[in-house]
A and B are shown apart, each in its own frame.
Chain A
Amino acid sequence: DVKVTQSSRYLVKRTGEKVFLECVQDMDHENMFWYRQDPGLGLRLIYFSYDVKMKEKGDIPEGYSVSREKKERFSLILESASTNQTSMYLCASSSQKWGGEQFFGPGTRLTVL
């Protein structure tokens, strides 16, 4: 079974802190994604990556950056956390270059105070 793991289930940070969210997948998938999930808004794509060191902006990249130094690991960085970044963050991966099924991690619920 594909496994996507995220470094934390719950995280509490203060405004202005730099926050790192880590995601690891164990199935050699090329594509990895970061979403945020908010009630009534569904999942919104922040960034995705087709390959190591490759990244593409999603729909809401402002305030976020990403890093993919190894194929299995995709990190989301909040350079200076703000209260409006309080949300559930989901990582996903997929194996097909052009749009296959995505496998999701358990999510990180981030609260910024």
Chain B
Amino acid sequence: AQSVSQHNHHVILSEAASLELGCNYSYGGTVNLFWYVQYPGQHLQLLLKYFSGDPLVKGIKGFEAEFIKSKFSFNLRKPSVQWSDTAEYFCAVITYTGGFKTIFGAGTRLFVKA
């Protein structure tokens, strides 16, 4: 079955620390890849997306992600986190098998200590 795995459910970092959140998916065909973020009390919103082209994509607020096809991974990174990055982060994959299917990971809660 197609699935999306996010390796860490909870991450605690101090401000200025570097962040990397893992995301792996299980599907061998064409995919569109997304990271969404949900700040406390707010809607889910798009952080960045990958459809094709340069596998290193940049998103809002200094986030970036790298698509590594051979590893079925799309890890999210930020060189220096801020307290305002405290949120829940979701990796999502859209696959194509006769129609499109959207699969979300379980989410990673990030808490950044000031």
Stretch at the interface among B14-22, B60-68, B92-100: B92-100
Task: List residues of B whose CB falls within 8 A of some A CB.
Answer: 4, 6, 9, 32, 34, 36, 43-46, 49, 90, 92, 94, 96, 99-100, 102-107
Contact of A104 among B6, B43, B94, B106 (CB under 8 A): B43
- A43 in the interface, Cβ–Cβ < 8 Å? yes
- Additional 14 contacts, C-beta under 8 A, given A42-B6, A42-B90: A4-B43, A40-B9, A40-B107, A42-B107, A43-B44, A43-B92, A45-B102, A48-B102, A90-B44, A98-B96, A99-B100, A100-B32, A102-B46, A104-B36
CB proximity to B under 8 Å, residues A26-72: 33, 35, 40-45, 48, 56
Residues from chain A with Cβ under 8 Å of B99 in the complex: 56
Nearest-CB distance from B4 to chain A (Å)?
8
Contact string, A71-102, partner B, CB cutoff 8 A, digits 1/0? 00000000000000000001010000011111
Asked whether A101 lies within 8 Å of B90 as measured between CB atoms, the reply is no
Interface residues on A, range: 20 to 34
Q: Which of B32, B46, B106 contacts A42 (CB 8 A)?
A: B106
| Cross-chain contact A101 with B102 (CB below 8 angstroms) | no
Contact A102 B102 (CB under 8 A): yes
Asked if B44 contacts A101 (CB within 8 A), the reply is no
Q: Which 4 A-B pairs have the closest CB atoms?
A: A99-B94, A43-B104, A42-B106, A104-B44
User: Bound complex: CA of A86 vs CA of B36, how far in Å?
Assistant: 23
Known A33-B102, A42-B90, A45-B102: A101·B107 in contact at CB below 8 Å: no
Which residue of A is nearest B102, CB measured? Answer: A45
Set of chain A residues within 8 Å of B46, measured between Cβ atoms: 101-102
Q: Which of A45, A102, A105 has the most CB of B within 10 A?
A: A102
CB distance from A71 to the nearest CB of B (A): 19
Give the distance in Å from the alpha carbon of A104 to the alpha carbon of B92 in the complex: 14
Contact A99 B32 (CB under 8 A): yes
> Which of B32, B43, B90, B100 is A43 in contact with, Cβ under 8 Å?
B90
Interface centre among A42, A48, A90, A100 (most CB of B within 10 A): A42
Chain B nearest Cβ from A107, distance in angstroms: 8
